[in-house]
Structure 1
């Protein structure tokens, strides 16, 4: 009497390996375990303690800041907004007067980010999807520009602007500098993202009669939104927190950003801790808003290309 064995039954043996036994699944289980979660929480708390102490100090009266540590606040809590009022809206020579510098930082950062991200996206599209002579050599040159130290190009670029234009020392100079220094990394990151896009999309667009410009605006930009958000966050944080480029390419209170004024407060009024702590948090407001608003796109941009299938 013969028996029929189903061929759909899974094969047993040393060669049979389920998905749960792969290296990726083992790493995923370890990173999502309770021990890993507890370690992550502990690291996050340790990382946050200095910032929390700075925030508490910014809300304490001047006398308390200079006589006791911030941790004593919980035993004798006293809060005041005088530090922020003085550092932002104060008019005396010893006050922060950060309101005008805050506006200067916005005027510098927003256009510089728009210029650098937009030009990087268009250049990355041309270098990744358009065929022309010398394309690969241009990309290699852009990649090599990331190796050049920023400090080496500051003075030559400033002399170039002063010699051939009358725009040195103003907003245009610092926009131009930040755009030039941000393009190599931006083009490199977006290029690597665009080359992973399916070629069928571009072939279908050409069949439908779409030109390079239409393909870029209608197809490529919506698909690279996570990468653009990640690059925007990086550029915004770098330009907003920049001090060196601002010192070289700006002059006078009329166009210098917030970081320059904070450096002056730390250097000339180093004993006024209440102004330094509150000024530090004033400078953190906009970057926190930008990061939190683009956080979901930022995570997607970091994970893009990491999973195939």
Structure 2
């Protein structure tokens, strides 16, 4: 191997490694965040989850009504952690501007002869030469070392939410036909554009390539108007599974035809000619020869189409609606997050729940992905 080839191969391997790391690190961070305790998740990043973390907290002591008089001093005492498992307190303070002014186990001088002492186990003792006043206890600022805590509560909260099961079934009902229908239609079209001679074939190929760059958002309104016109003519509502299947089919057909046409056109011409000599018609050649040989390209498009449809929210809202019986999984999770206000920690668990099925599809078909995408690029 020449030095140039070795250098190019090394560069390719390094580039692939960098891309893998760029995708793996955020995914790992998302998964770790999804199983962290919600309180720790709100205070620190996922990269701190594998080691003890320092947290600055605040606690109010018992109120003045619980004070006792001992040796001429009024005393407030208790434990910051109460009945909970104690964490080690390293420093404390009685001012918000200096929460780490004193080490645990020492006594801090406050105003008017008052003192505050906080032990590492959370015991506190406040003394005053005069009676404590006010309606609430005094504030104690402290820093504790908190061990990492992992839990499945976020997943339980999402999975136990009302309507998740029905939404999961709705997503499968939308996604599976929306993946199979364009594959079947595109396979026939790709074979015709690749091996059948007819006027305007290359014009159709150019149109297919042009449709690849049409934004979905730009075509949604005219497409919905067309559906409404057709629905009113036949007396049926365009909102339903049939409408969303047709919408996803229309948006997915250009890429499907483009990929399959490139792959089918690159198949050995001799195989097809031999079948034609033996008396096979186009349909027989397509079913018995082209389809079995085109499985890598079919699997490649199936992966992309399944991912797009499964993760779709816009088209589902437009053509299916947000009713309790029709809403898909992405819409259900969006509504659940919106109704929970600041309870955003379940977003990480929701993300992993939505990608379980696409991951299964991808890993079952990924060995065909590169072969299908590179179809027709090398002769």
TM bucket (normalised to shorter chain) is 0.7 to 0.9
Q: Distance in 1 between matches of 2:360 and 2:193?
A: 33
User: 1:79 is paired with a residue of what secondary structure?
Assistant: coil
Q: CA deviation at 1:106?
A: 1.1
Q: Which residue of 162, 184, 192 maps to 1:126?
A: 192
Q: Distance in 2 between matches of 1:281 and 1:124?
A: 36
Q: CA deviation at 1:42?
A: 4.7
Q: Which residue of 26, 30, 33 maps to 2:7?
A: 30
Which is strand-richer, 1 or 2? 2
Q: CA deviation at 1:305?
A: 4.0
CA change 1:217–1:271 in 2 (3 A) is same
Q: Which has the larger radius of gyration?
A: 2
Determine which structure has greater relative contact order: mean sequence separation of CA pairs < 8 Å that are 6+ residues apart, divided by chain length: 1
| Contact 2:263 2:294 (8 Å CA) reproduced | yes
Q: Distance in 2 between matches of 1:36 and 1:206?
A: 43
CA change 1:136–1:305 in 2 (3 A) is closer
Q: CA deviation at 1:84?
A: 1.1
| Contact 1:262 1:280 (8 Å CA) reproduced | no
The match for 1:209 is 279
Gaps of 5+ in 1: 1-19, 92-96
Gaps of 5+ in 2: 52-146
The match for 2:49 is 73
User: 2:49 is paired with a residue of what secondary structure?
Assistant: helix
Which is helix-richer, 1 or 2? 1
- Equivalent positions of 1:146-225 (< 5 A) are 146-165=212-231, 166-225=236-295
Deviations 1:137-175 (A, max 9, x none): 222222222233222221222222222222422111111
CA change 1:214–1:54 in 2 (3 A) is same
Q: Which residue of 41, 61, 73 maps to 2:37?
A: 61
Q: Distance in 2 between matches of 1:201 and 1:36?
A: 35
Q: Which residue of 294, 300, 303 maps to 1:230?
A: 300
Q: Distance in 1 between matches of 2:355 and 2:341?
A: 20
User: 2:36 is paired with a residue of what secondary structure?
Assistant: coil
Pair 1:106-2:172 in alignment? yes
